[in-house]
Amino acid sequence: MNYELTLAPHDLERFITYYRSFKEQNDDPRILHVFKTDDFRITVYNSGKTLFQGKNAFSEYEVWARHFGLEIESIPDETAYQNQYFDKRVIGSDEVGTGDLFGPIVVCAAYVTPKDYPLLDELRVRDSKTLSDQQIKEIGSKLIENLSYHVLVLPPEKFNELTSQGFNMNKIKAYLHNHAIKKMVKQTAQFDNVIVDEFCSKENYFSYLANEDPYQKINFHIKGESIHKAVAVASIIARYKFLLEMDRLSQETGIVLPKGSGAPADAIAKLIFLQRGKDIFSKIAKLNFKNFERIFN
């Protein structure tokens, strides 16, 4: 779904400055600027009309609409969750942080029943990728007070230790999901299904856990947060914990660490490298990211 707003000339300069590191080449005379990442595309026309597209279009649009005091369009159409799991008690599991240069990987397993739906509807629970950081903190703080969940936070230092031993990202995620799910299964008296937001094939998932004792009765779904609200809840709580940990690492480092692995992450990493050297990165960043080939060179 696309979103648009019209920026006044005096607001446009601030907007363009914010996104300048994502600027794309543009040959269309009708278009003033194009900004693009893997998550969104923003087109600024000569008239000031600004179009937001991509999977994070709504969250980017909403930040600026609120900032400039503009009326916000309705949120993206959400699934009604009318499927075979709708009336079931479900443990959902999801992860965040795998695409972020800085910070931990966080996996959450959350338990949701139909009795929880009124609360989740009131909080407007949906895919965490469509929510701003502030919304995640507001909703996440309420979810952890009212629902059963288990969170695992894998700090960068431990992640780097595992990758040095030959673990790839999916194997690490499989270990974390399995542990979180088993914890929830143990503490949840009655449930009907376990749903994991699919990040690899079922066969590969269990092959990664060949030396473990995996929980077997799992339903894997791509975009699991649109299949059942338990996965959406898990994604929000995981993101909430991730943001708190990023705040803590930023405070310890003395510099605000950016999310993602694009140009802003490169810029801050280069600054830290110049000021503090290489050693600090093992504690705040994932060293197997290709960013460091550019940064250290």
Same domain, 110 and 231: yes
Evaluate if residue 109 carries a pLDDT over 70: yes
Percentage of the chain exceeding pLDDT 90: 63
Q: What CATH number should be reported for the domain holding residue 57?
A: 3.30.310.10
User: Are residues 216 and 149 located together in one domain of the fold?
Assistant: yes
What domain range is 230 assigned to?
A: 90-248
How much is the average pLDDT of 145-170? 97
Beta bridge partners of 5: 50
Q: Is the pLDDT of residue 107 over 80?
A: yes
- With respect to residue 118, please indicate whether it lies within any of the assigned structural domains: yes
Domain count across the chain = 2
Question: Which residue type is seen at 285?
Answer: A
> Average pLDDT, stretch 17-44?
88
Same domain membership, residue 127 and residue 13 = no
- Phi and psi torsions of 123, nearest 5°: -80, -5
Q: Is residue 46 part of a domain?
A: yes
Residues 57 and 160 in one domain: no
Nearest-angstrom CA–CA distance, 228 and 116: 12
Domain with residue 97: its CATH number is 3.30.420.10
Q: Is residue 26 part of a domain?
A: yes
Asked if pLDDT for residue 236 goes beyond 80, the answer is yes
| β-pair type (90-96, 193-197) | parallel
Regarding whether 13 and 148 lie in a shared domain, the answer is: no
- Assess whether 55 and 94 both reside in one domain: no
Please tell me whether residues 57 and 188 are part of one structural domain.
no
CA distances from 72 to 62, 238, 273 (A): 7, 26, 40
pLDDT of residue 78: 46
Same domain, 120 and 240: yes
Examine the domain organization and report whether 102 and 43 are in the same domain. Answer: no
User: Are 25 and 114 part of one and the same domain?
Assistant: no
CA angle 228, 230, 234 (to 5 degrees): 130
145 and 102 fall within a common domain = yes
Same domain, 130 and 208: yes
pTM of full prediction above 0.85: no
Rounded mean pLDDT, 17-22: 88
Question: What gap in Å lies between CA 242 and CA 79, rounded to an integer?
Answer: 25
